[in-house]
Structures are given as C-alpha cells and as structure tokens.
Structure 1
Amino acid sequence: MKAKIIGAICAAAVSAVALVSVAAEQGKEGGVISVKASGIPHSALFGLSFDAGTGVAVGINGSVLTSKDGGETWAPEKQDATDLALLAVARRGTHTIAVGQLGTVIVESAPATWKKIDAGTEARFLSVSVNTSGIAAAGGEFGLLLGSNDGGETWASIAPNWADYADANVPGTGEPTVYAVYVSEAGAITVAGEFGLILRREPGSEAWRVLNPVTGGTPTIFAIHIPEQANGNSYAVGQAGEILISTDNGARWFRNKADTTSNFLGVAVAPGGRVVITGMRVMAASSNGGINWKFIEEGDTTTDWYQAVRTEKNTGQVMAVGHAGRIIRING
C-alpha cells in the first residue's frame, strides 16, 4: 500500500458528526450482531454478494458458501475450479463471478457448477462487479482493471493510461491498486482505490472521468457504494477511518472522517437512511444517511475484522463476512 495515512479532517467535513459507542452484550436477545455461520480460525471469508434472495460468500482456499434464504442459513458448496483464495464475488441475474489470487476468475456456469476462466493475467484481483446484462469489471493490484461483456467468459483490459491520472508531484502514483469496482445496470463502471482514486466510465464510452483525483498522501479507498438511482447518496470508505459522501452521483465528495485510525473495508446501504461500515477492529453505523455515526462495539467487532458487507434487498437485512469464516447479520 503506497498511500500514506493522513490525520487531518478537511474543511468540507460534516460538523454534525457524532461518534458514540453502542453497548450490547454478545449473544443477548435483540443485540446488534447475529452470527449466521462460523468456521475455524483460519477459514477467512472475503467476498459476499446477494441477488433475488440468494447469497454467495467466498474466501480462503477457494471456499464457496451459498444461502437460499436471504442469508439466514449457509451451506458450503463444492467447487473444483480453483483452490486459490477468492477475494471478491458478484452475483446479478444469471451471472455469478468470483475473483482472487494469481489472476483467478471463476464463473458459475450452472447452479452449483463453477469453471475457471483464463483472464490473461497472474496479478491479484481484489474486486469484481457485474450487471444483469453480463457487463462486468474486475480490478486489482498495480492498476489491474479488466472488463467483460459476456458475464465473465472473456476479459480484456479497460484500464486507462494510468500515467495520465498520476499525481505529478508524487512518484509511484502512476499504477494505483483498484480495490473497488461497481457496474450499474445501465453499464456505467465506477472504480476506486489507492491515493483516493475514483473514476467513472459511462455506458458506450472508453473515456474515464475523474470523480476524485489520484493524490499522493491521501487515504486509500477500499470500498464504495454507488446507488442505482442518481438521487441516492454515494459512499467511499477506506484507510484510517476515511469516509467520503456524495449527494450528486459522485460529482462532488465531502469528507466525514470517523474518529478512528482503523481501516474501513466495506460499506452497505439499507432502507431508511441506514448505512453500515465494516473494517479492521472497527464497525460503524448511521441511521440518517451518514450525517451521524455510531461505533458498534459488540462481540468481536473491536478485536477482529469484517470485510465485505452487503444488503439483502428482499429483506433489507445487512450481512457481512470476515475472519474465521464468520457470516453475521448486523441488526438495525
């Protein structure tokens, strides 16, 4: 990670930020955290996706777990396509794609049947997204950014000339790691990552538009939420408590940095203005679209890590995956 941690909050930060602790006893009826699955200490899960009530989680050693009931119960799914770590997964419509170490890409070619795809790279993938039309994007280390128009069956580079977006004053900013990607139903592709990078490519275009510039010394962005409807808030979270919020579909961002030096790794939005952020020994939630935040301090949220966090749209429930093969529901 080449980006440096900064400690100052910019002048655009929301002055009304309130960060307090949620005191709740682990396992207590009505608590914030409900554990839905758990494995051995080293059975980490990194990726999570839901569509139409079906969930898929992926992790170490090519592990795949699936849920048919909106995340209430989970079962391991055997796959022989790879035993390398799967670091991200995306499911939309008939398309399910998982990516990971050494350029690994696997697609679900039929229910519970996975096949390996040659993506033409051995670089590590860290993120993937797909829409119902099969338009997909996958990002990873050192500027890796590939696109697919057939649900992940074939891939080609869609990376810009990163040198054109580098910070001229900071050497090494010309190949930013891409930690987050999102493909909208219309086909717009938004990517985010190192040095505060956020770019977008509109449907039918090959040009990338800067939503947040690469700037040396700014926190890395590890996760984004981009709403399908332009009138919803966009969120970007990352290194050292970084929280960026946009109310105009990414045209402008303001910082609402949390009072933590821990890294935020995931963000999800649920109905009613609820936002949940997961991370390394930290978890935070807002009930009003990110104006005010509370830290969730229950169970292992302050001692371990949760990475991907998603909302199951049928129920509005927020689920996350992380250390020790754990899958949790984060109750509102």
Structure 2
Amino acid sequence: MRSAILSFIGAAALGLVTAASAADKGNGVIRTLAQGIPHSAFFGISFDAGKGVAVGMGGAIAFSDDAGATWNPVKQTLTDSALLAVERRGSHTVAVGQAGLVLVEDAPGQWAKGESGIERRLLSVSVNSAGLAVAGGEFGTLIRSDDGGKTWAQAAPDWSRYADESAPGTGEPTIYSVHVAESGDITIAGEFGLIFRLAAGGSEWQVLNPLVAGTPTIFATHISDSRTRNSYAVGQRGQVLISTDGGSTWFKNPVKTESNFLGVAAAPGGKVVITGMRVMATSKDGGIHWTQVTEGDVTTDWYQAVRTETTSGRVMAVGHSGRIIEIAG
C-alpha cells in the first residue's frame, strides 16, 4: 500500500509529462518541454552524455535519454520528501533534499538511499566522474563522499575563522551552491556572498570572495573547469559575479532588478542564461550585456535550476508547476 501511495505522490508531484505543444514551438525564447500540475515543482536538473535527470517536490524524478527532448517519470518508493538538487556526471548520479536526504542511482532507473549522517536540509550537490561528491545546505552544512554518494563525512570549513562577531548568522552561513571539478577542486558559495575553494588534496580553504555581513547571498554558480571559459555566480537582487580565470577572481556585473536569481548556466558561443523569482536574463556575449526576458510566465512565476545539455548546446531549466523548459536566444 505504501509503495502505491508513494508512486502516486511522485507521479502527482511530477504531473503529466508532456511534449511541447504547437504553440510552444514558435519563435519565442521559451519552449515548454514538460508540464506538471499547478502545485508540483522541479528544483534540480542535470545532464551528462545526452542523459538528463530532474528532481523535485514529493520525491519526483524525471529522466530523459534524448538530450532533454522528452521526459518520463521515474518510479521510486524510497521517499516522498522533496529532492532539491541533483548532479549527473559519468556513471554517478546523486540527488539531495530535505532532512539530509540523499538518493543515489545504482543502475538506470534504480535508486538507493545514501547515508548522509545529518538531518539538515541539503540544497546543492556536485559529483565528478571519479565519484567525489560534495553536498551543501542550511546552517553551514557541508558533507563529502568519496564513493559516489553512498557514505558521507563532515567537510565544512571552521566557520568561526570567517564569522563576523557583530553579525549573527555569519558563523553558520547557508551553502547554496557546490561544484566538484574533475581535478578534485571543490568550490562552494552561499550566504553573505561567500565563495571558497578547497584544492584537491588540500586542507586549507581559499577565500575567493569573502563572507561579509549584508552582502547579497549567492544562490547559484556555473564554475568552469577550464580557465579559458567564464564562470558565473548569481544571487540576491540581481547580483551577478563573473570570473575569467576559472573562479579564482571575480568582478561584478549585476542585472538591474530587485528580484533574486536562483540559477545560471553558460553555453558555447558566449550564451549565458540566468533564472530566478519572476525574472530571467540572457546574454550573448559572456555576460557583458544582459537582456531581461519578459515572455510567458517568466515575470510571474519562478524557475530554479538551469543547465546546458553539452551534446546539443541547448539550455534547459526547471521550476514551478513541474515545468521543464528550453531557453533559446
């Protein structure tokens, strides 16, 4: 009975996954790839080698084996808690969510629970092809796995070294974004504008952007593993930081908005897409100039994670109502 209920919950959270309608295939910026019910949502999306996975409310998981063109629900009976982030790289796919929840894909379409050892909400996750995974979350939570997400250990910096004693909360900043490079370098970003990096095999965190009370929170990053391509960090009130050296140094080029950015992705040719709360912005020149998108539901609803499908260069995002969209331009 419980299995049947959870299967229903997952399907309801995902809603009816549909292909884009004829109306969606026009000349606009937004093309709908999947649509759920009004009270469903997707929070995370990731691609590798033409395969895609999206996760969301009620433990919903959707999978694409055609570079995101079509999506199908994946049955899982492990949880009905929200999955808030997912990363797929090589043979590893890891999803994280509420109350320290970790799910690992053991085989195509087959998921198992990982042992995070914590009960705090996990908001971000990254894994490299060697199976090094890092997840970040509320109140300074940072955990690390060396076996593709099956087992985890504490990995947070000593936050007391960076806290502002006059500013409550700076001693336990929420981590909204993590990135594990193929080299093993780990980059984290989050509350109070912090961007820190731990070199592969190292023990000392490097401060790339300091933790300063009152600084806009960074909600998402796109960290390039190549120093010849730009990296991006986005967050509160239109905050945009850009790095031209793989994330070692940053400069500001914000978008004129009071809305919060929640996701960022870059594609070949200088295309950058930022998604958020009632806001979306695109660039064709690597983030030098920004154009705000006003099409469809972009200014009235939200899209969270956004990723580039590398085999095609297409950019796709997930958000409210179980929607998965492609963003042109």
1:239 aligns with 2:211: no
Residue 48 of structure 2, aligned match among 51, 66, 70: 51
1:82 CA displacement: 1.2
Q: CA RMSD in A?
A: 1.0
Tell me, in whole angstroms, the C-alpha distance in 2 between the residues paired with 1:135 and 1:203: 11
1:157 CA displacement: 0.6
- SS for the counterpart of 1:50 is strand
Which has a greater percent of helix?
2
Residue 158 of structure 1, aligned match among 155, 165, 169: 155
Residue 278 of structure 1, aligned match among 270, 275, 278: 275
1:128 CA displacement: 0.2
- SS for the counterpart of 2:293 is strand
Residue 302 of structure 1, aligned match among 299, 302, 317: 299
Does the CA contact (< 8 Å) of 1:82 and 1:116 recur in 2?
Answer: no
Counterpart of 1:250 in structure 2 is 247
1:317 aligns with 2:314: yes
Does the CA contact (< 8 Å) of 2:225 and 2:246 recur in 1?
Answer: no
Does the CA contact (< 8 Å) of 1:61 and 1:86 recur in 2?
Answer: yes
Q: Equivalent residues in 2 for 1:1-332 (5 A)?
A: 27=24, 29-332=26-329
- SS for the counterpart of 1:173 is coil
1:175-229 per-residue CA deviation (whole Å, 9 max, x = no partner) reads: 0000000000011000000000100000111211100111000100000011111
Does the CA contact (< 8 Å) of 2:37 and 2:322 recur in 1?
Answer: yes
1:166 CA displacement: 1.3
The number of residues matched between the two structures is 307
Further displaced range: 158-167 or 186-195: 158-167
Counterpart of 1:21 in structure 2 is none
Q: Report the residue type matching 2:56 in the other structure.
A: G
Q: Report the residue type matching 2:242 in the other structure.
A: I
Does the CA contact (< 8 Å) of 1:44 and 1:60 recur in 2?
Answer: yes
1:28 CA displacement: 6.3
Unmatched runs of 5 consecutive residues or more in structure 2: 1-22
Tell me, in whole angstroms, the C-alpha distance in 2 between the residues paired with 1:171 and 1:114: 39
- SS for the counterpart of 1:240 is helix
Tell me, in whole angstroms, the C-alpha distance in 1 between the residues paired with 2:313 and 2:282: 15
1:104 CA displacement: 0.3
Does the CA contact (< 8 Å) of 1:88 and 1:99 recur in 2?
Answer: yes
TM-score by length of 2: 0.92
Tell me, in whole angstroms, the C-alpha distance in 1 between the residues paired with 2:324 and 2:25: 17
Tell me, in whole angstroms, the C-alpha distance in 2 between the residues paired with 1:194 and 1:88: 17
Q: Report the residue type matching 1:36 in the other structure.
A: L
Counterpart of 1:17 in structure 2 is none
Tell me, in whole angstroms, the C-alpha distance in 1 between the residues paired with 2:272 and 2:252: 15
- SS for the counterpart of 1:297 is coil
- SS for the counterpart of 1:36 is strand
Divergent runs of 4+, >6 A: none
Does the CA contact (< 8 Å) of 2:224 and 2:247 recur in 1?
Answer: no
Tell me, in whole angstroms, the C-alpha distance in 2 between the residues paired with 1:288 and 1:167: 37
Unmatched runs of 5 consecutive residues or more in structure 1: 1-25
Counterpart of 2:16 in structure 1 is none
TM-score by length of 1: 0.91
- SS for the counterpart of 2:321 is helix
